[in-house]
Structure 1
Amino acid sequence: MNAIVSIIVPCYNQAQYLDEALQSVLDQTYQNWECIIVNDGSSDNTEEVAQKWVQKDVRFQYFFKKNGGVSSTRNLGICYAIGEFILPLDADDRIGRTYINSAVRVFRRNSTLKLVYSKAEYFGDKTGLWYLPSFSIQNLARFNMIFCSAIYRKKDWELVGGYDVNMIYGIEDWEFWIAILKDGGNVFRLDTVEFYYRVKKVSRQKQLDGKMTKMMNEYMCIKHVDFFVKQLGSFLELNEVIEANKKCSENLKSEKFVIDVFCTTFFGFSVFGLYKIKKQ
């Protein structure tokens, strides 16, 4: 139970909420933690608020980086982390007092676990329980039922290369769960509420338009095509990102097709089309 748990708090213009998030860290019944606050190029007084906590308790650390999005910000914090376990915590959310203690106990009892999370509640502009469907690997191929503040081992973050910095428009946590779970490993949900998700009138998620969300879904589908084909037979069921057609399953099993879809979608050209032109 003496494992160090590294709590990673990315903050971009969320200084007004940061105190609440960090207080929930300080209130943990589990004491062997470090908290790494990473300022993602904020224009507000994030640094001032963070430095106050650094002076209050030596377990808090503060770093600044140029704005690059939540994936790169979490990755930077985790690079500095010395903990066996990682707990990402957005600067406007909170965790329950017994979250870390309960999660570490579960990890110690079951070496096959890769993720531990809990029940959740809304607070802010909306209150009440956040009803999340139960986890299954097949359901994970259809939707994300695990909030971003699940606890996992740093070594699993290292194995998949961290959070994908290309996921700049959201759902980066969903993609990361797929990356670390698609080749095996178990997930456990605590039966207590240990995570509190702030609902605001304006949030990063609400600001994402349909085009951006579709782009991220398509990128994720292509990156993890093996996972979606294995779990669903194809990745076409995923949020109706790509319209179903009869030839889909055959095409997705073709490595050339997947590479070509990726390049056409994100770079505007067909690799194999260029190859044919060059040969001619």
Structure 2
Amino acid sequence: MNAEITVVIPTYNKAAYISQTIESVLKQTYQDFEIVIVDDCSQDDTELVVQEYLSDRIRYFKHLRNWGPGATFNDGIEKANTEYVTLIASDDILLPNHLEQVMLQFKKDDLVETVFPKLKVIDENGNDLNEVIEQPFFDKYKMLNHLFYAGNDIPSPGVSFKKSLFKKTAAYNRNLIMMHDYDLNVRCLIHGKIAVVDEPTVYYRRFSNPIINLSGKTKWLDMCLSIESKFVLDNYLSLGYDDMKKIFPHLEACNRKEIKFRFLIDACKNKQVRLSSWAFERLVSCLENNKDFLILMN
């Protein structure tokens, strides 16, 4: 069939929830879609549940070994037969107007390559928690500034892309376990034009058990967050001179040669360890490669 947008559903051991996710897609007001389900080697009954839904518009693929979240998202995007894709976890739910609102944003402006949704939060039993998660800013430069200092604050369930974006920047970093969405959010803002849906179109399921949400305070998770945060922050060092001044207005007076040094020096002074430790490491590396920097600063 010739669909216009693909709903990619990565899944891992979500047999209890994935039927709700699939049903929410089938009930969309915008019906010109296909569904690609990528099972990252589930050990539960996910495959049995999904088999009941397979058709010419719903395809299912199962990994023989666990690839991890980023690689599984990428696999689904690659298997999509359409230019537009929207991603939804297999325990979250699309509201009926999600695809309609996403396609409206893409059609309004052909330059838009990423559309971010707003979310309503539900618990594991589907109860509405009366909480809405939305983007902190609509301006991409303010949003990039916020993401640098505050961390990942953009809703990811239901995020939608034009696949042409990935000709300018890679899709999800398959080496990141915790921050694959944070990393891609930053790069989407750096490399392309974004739009935001005006109203919540996704139910995001928040589990009471923090381990299910991968937010438990374990040594392994803390180590992942520390290491992966540095990969994400490195994206800011790829910024051009003009963009860096727009994102960080306090650097307005810096010239081209000094601006990244000043940026790192300021970050070294930040009270957040994730920022100061990253900046110190990168500053040392920059100084090693730019021996004349101290002369320049004097």
Q: Do Structure 1 and Structure 2 share a fold, with TM-score over 0.5?
A: yes
Q: Deviations over 1:215-248 (max 9, x none)?
A: 2102222355324993452365595314269977
Mapped partners of 1:64, 1:206: distance in 2: 26
Instruction: Please list, as runs of the form range in 1=range in 2, the aligned pairs for 1:58-207 lying within 5 A after superposition.
Output: 58-65=56-63, 66-125=65-124, 127-132=129-134, 133-135=136-138, 136-142=143-149, 143-148=151-156, 149-168=158-177, 170-183=178-191, 185-202=192-209, 203-207=212-216
Mapped partners of 2:25, 2:271: distance in 1: 35
Gap change, CA 1:245 and 1:123, over 3 Å in 2: closer
Match of 1:214 among 208, 226, 242: 226
Mapped partners of 1:75, 1:97: distance in 2: 25
Gap change, CA 1:144 and 1:227, over 3 Å in 2: farther
Mapped partners of 1:164, 1:94: distance in 2: 25
User: Which residue identity does 1:175 align to in structure 2?
Assistant: D
Mapped partners of 1:249, 1:70: distance in 2: 28
Mapped partners of 2:288, 2:98: distance in 1: 42
Q: Percent identity?
A: 23
Moved more, 70-79 or 208-217: 208-217
Gap change, CA 1:249 and 1:157, over 3 Å in 2: closer
Q: Give the drift of 1:90.
A: 0.4
Gap change, CA 1:211 and 1:110, over 3 Å in 2: same
User: Which residue identity does 1:174 align to in structure 2?
Assistant: Y
Gap change, CA 1:218 and 1:238, over 3 Å in 2: farther
Q: Give the drift of 1:252.
A: 6.4
1:42 is matched with: 42
Gap change, CA 1:19 and 1:225, over 3 Å in 2: same
Give TM-score, length-normalised by structure 2: 0.75
Mapped partners of 1:73, 1:249: distance in 2: 31
Structure 1 unmatched runs, 5+? 258-280
1:274 is matched with: none
Gap change, CA 1:7 and 1:158, over 3 Å in 2: farther
Moved more, 101-110 or 229-238: 229-238
Mapped partners of 2:117, 2:236: distance in 1: 26
Give TM-score, length-normalised by structure 1: 0.80
Q: Give the drift of 1:137.
A: 2.8
Q: Deviations over 1:169-192 (max 9, x none)?
A: x12111012223213x33222221
Q: Give the drift of 1:46.
A: 0.9
SS of the aligned residue for 1:210 comes to helix
Q: Give the drift of 1:123.
A: 0.4
Mapped partners of 1:212, 1:4: distance in 2: 37
User: Which residue identity does 2:165 align to in structure 1?
Assistant: D
Q: Say whether residues 1:226 and 2:225 are aligned partners.
A: no
Provide the alpha-carbon RMSD of the alignment.
Answer: 2.9
Instruction: Please say if residues 230 and 278 of structure 2, whose CA atoms lie closer than 8 Å, have aligned partners that are also in contact.
Output: no
Q: Give the drift of 1:77.
A: 1.2
